[in-house]
Chain A
């Protein structure tokens, strides 16, 4: 998409080759961690809330406590850990898919060959940029998992409440992810990364 939009602009300046910089940097640093986090918030964050919320309604959480198992140990920590591992991996996957898409568009519209694109990409995207992108993912993951679980525990009484908390959970986690992304940008520009 970026390649498609950007292509026309770049063509005007005769800077076809910079398509790799545009796609590479924007995807790796910003877009792919963010897009992945938003998709995962919609998919896994909501599932966390729904699962814990349902357990709350069916008194399973109470049952856990009477058995002497802490709900936090059993329900929250594994989810946080799992997502903190999974989200960076998914981000890598999104990176690859984004590059592939960019490459195809670059060739179709700007006649930039795959090899030229890849060569240019190596120069444009530094390892730091790549790591910054991936490094944000675990932070987003922790936010999504914690918000999902927290809202799950906020469920009271009925199945209707599960639905309401799930919506709140998705909205809140996406908002917090975007907010923290903004903080990352500020912090990185201070650090001149």
Chain B
């Protein structure tokens, strides 16, 4: 068994009196595409925000690269933050900067590269995500949804992270762009050996890219395993998730392709 890059143990989160997570635990191995799924409002995004240290859980442990990540200050988290990239659901590109500047800004903050070199690195990252070269000069508002996600991915990849967090990588995209993102996620894992942790509802994306999937519901992990394993799960909520009308269509499509 390969080492765990990310390990969540006995995590509890509460908002006021509402319990969001009650003892969530799982671990993500190096080089795998791990997906977190679950109905809206079950705390997927909250869990992701806790993993990237934007929010503190009530109790429990999150270990990333073998280091305890809970309770770190912003300064203390810097070392960890340099080693991962985050792509937010809506991209969260800085709207006052062009795509190239968005990527270069991260480099400026963390490396001693010259301006010239930063621009070149940024161009490489932008090309890596499949954006045309002229996209670098554009502002985020001039890009389509799919291109914006790719640009956000380019920024997440700026520091050559070992671990990539993706929040809803295909949400709000047309099927064609979403298909492109599926492909991209797979390529990144294969080409760069990245470990990818993603939160998604997109069943097609799950069937095509995820190595293992954890289903979150009722404040806990209801099931964890590969997609075919989960599809056989007896748990009613998991079953419903994968055997609802949309789940069935996505599964059939996935089987047909094999």
Contact = CB atoms under 8 A, between A and B. Distances in A.
B79 to A, nearest CB: 9
A62 B48 CA distance: 12
A70 B74 contact: yes
B78 interface: yes
A59 B106 contact: no
A66 B155 CA distance: 11
Contacts of B91: 58
Interface string B60-98: 000000000000001001100110001011111111000
Nearest to B81: A68
The binding surface of chain B is classed by DSSP as mixed
Contacts of B155: 63
Contacts of A179: none
A184 B224 CA distance: 65
Given A65-B54, A67-B81, A59 B74 contact: no
Interface size range on B against A: 20 to 34
Contacts of A8: none
Given A66-B52, A68-B110, A59 B78 contact: no
A134 B81 CA distance: 45
Contacts of A66: 52-54, 81, 86
A69 interface: yes
A82 to B, nearest CB: 15
A59 B88 CA distance: 7
Contact of B92 (A59, A68, A69): A59
Given A58-B95, A60-B95, A67 B90 contact: no
Contacts of A59: 88-90, 92
Nearest to B84: A66
B216 to A, nearest CB: 20
The binding surface of chain A is classed by DSSP as helix
B174 interface: no
Interface residues of A, number: 11
Contacts of B52: 66
B94 A60 contact: yes
A65 B94 CA distance: 13
A63 B95 contact: no
A68 B82 contact: yes
B134 interface: no
Interface in A61-112: 62-63, 65-70
Given A59-B88, A59-B90, A62-B54, A67 B106 contact: yes
Contacts of B49: 62
B74 A62 contact: no
Interface in A32-70: 58-60, 62-63, 65-70
B109 A63 contact: no
B184 to A, nearest CB: 20
A156 to B, nearest CB: 12
Contact of A58 (B78, B92, B109): B92
20 contacts: A58-B91, A58-B95, A59-B88, A59-B89, A59-B92, A60-B93, A60-B94, A62-B88, A62-B92, A63-B86, A63-B88, A63-B155, A65-B54, A65-B74, A66-B52, A66-B53, A66-B54, A67-B105, A68-B77, A68-B78
Given A60-B92, A67-B105, 5 more contacts: A58-B95, A63-B88, A63-B93, A63-B155, A68-B77
Interface of A: 58-60, 62-63, 65-70
List of 8 A-B pairs having minimum Cβ-Cβ separation, nearest first: A59-B92, A63-B92, A59-B88, A66-B86, A68-B81, A68-B78, A60-B92, A67-B106
